Amino acid sequence: MKAIVETNFHFPGQTQFYRGKVRDVYTINNDLLIMVVTDRISAFDRILPRGIPYKGQILNQIASRFLDQTEHIIPNWKMATPDPNVTIGLKCEPLPVEMVIRAYITGSAWRAYEKGRRTISGITLPDGLKANQKLEKPIITPTTKATEGHDQEISKEQIIAQGLVSADIYEHIEQITYHLFEHGQRYAASRGLILVDTKYEFGLHDGKVYLIDEVHTPDSSRYWYMDDYEERFAQERPPRQLSKEFVRQWLMEHGFMGREGDKMPELTDQVVQSISKRYIELYQQLIGENFVPAQSDDPLARIEKNVLEYLETI
């Protein structure tokens, strides 16, 4: 399977096109979005030089499943998934913040804590925490949504004071974030996993708040295996990961963290294949079903055909 690294479609009624780190997004008549999830992969806000076969299909199918699972908590943008790599839905006006929620201190939060920082996004953490330790209760550490470069840490008070989001809307998405995370944690536990942290994005459509983008995918969330977490934590060993964190770890081991002057390590065929296998493992562990790769000699032609057929029905 050849990786889908970019698309260049021209759909009827197309009014806008945006290429993100992973997704190619087409706007139709200024009210619908066609989101094509490619096989591009990013880490440290940099797109890696090679795509990962099946990654886009896996992310899209996981996101679609979890959007359906959580629509009783909050309405979301999804209307249909006419192709394994595509979701079509409502165009919403994105709120300019990402709601990051953490139940454990790990990743970038731990790296900051280890350097002596005790306040993250306005939340003060106690002394004496260890890497990968469960927090007393989940904390929300929002970030701004950067169009380029790194998202910036920001506090609830700063978001409201700067008028990025009104106080009423912020209180609403804060409560929804806790509810979504609790739901995600329960589901993960049923699959023998810990949902460690994740992020949610919200938007407005006709004045109403919607959940947008993806939810509980391995690109937006961190998962650990539950069965040996306590043992490994007691031994000060890192948890077994089921998320994109293993890609970040591999890059860091090869001296790359997205800093100026860092050289991207070579992604050999073997590395690309191993990342693809890890994504398939993640899908099967998380969803509880065998992964069925989309079979197509020409995936771009397949995507275009399926999208066009769906657009004719609306």
Report pLDDT digits (tens) over 27-45: 999 999 999 999 999 888 8
pLDDT at position 289 is: 95
Q: Does position 217 have pLDDT exceeding 80, yes or no?
A: yes
The alpha carbon of 258 is separated from its chain's Cα centroid by a whole number of angstroms, namely: 18
Reported as a single tens digit per residue, the pLDDT across 257-288 is 988 889 999 889 998 998 899 889 889 999 99
Burial class (CB in 10 A: 0-12, 13-18, 19+), 231: exposed
Per DSSP, which regions of the chain are E strands?
14-19, 23-28, 32-37, 42-43, 46-47, 78-83, 86-90, 93-105, 119-120, 123-124, 133-140, 143-144, 193-205, 208-212, 221-225
> Does residue 147 register a pLDDT over 80?
no
Average pLDDT of the residues in 226-238: 97
pLDDT in tens, 190-199: 999 999 999 9
Residue 148, C-beta contacts closer than 8 angstroms, at least 6 positions apart: none
pLDDT class for 248, splitting at 50, 70, 90? confident
Instruction: Give the per-residue pLDDT at 96.
Output: 96
**Per-residue pLDDT at 150 exceeds 80:** no
Rg (CA), the chain: 19
What are the boundaries of each domain within the chain? 93-234
Q: 93-234 adopts what CATH topology?
A: D-amino Acid Aminotransferase; Chain A, domain 1 (3.30.470)
**Mean pLDDT over the full length of the chain:** 94
Q: What is the DSSP string of 97-109?
A: EEEEEEEEE-HHH
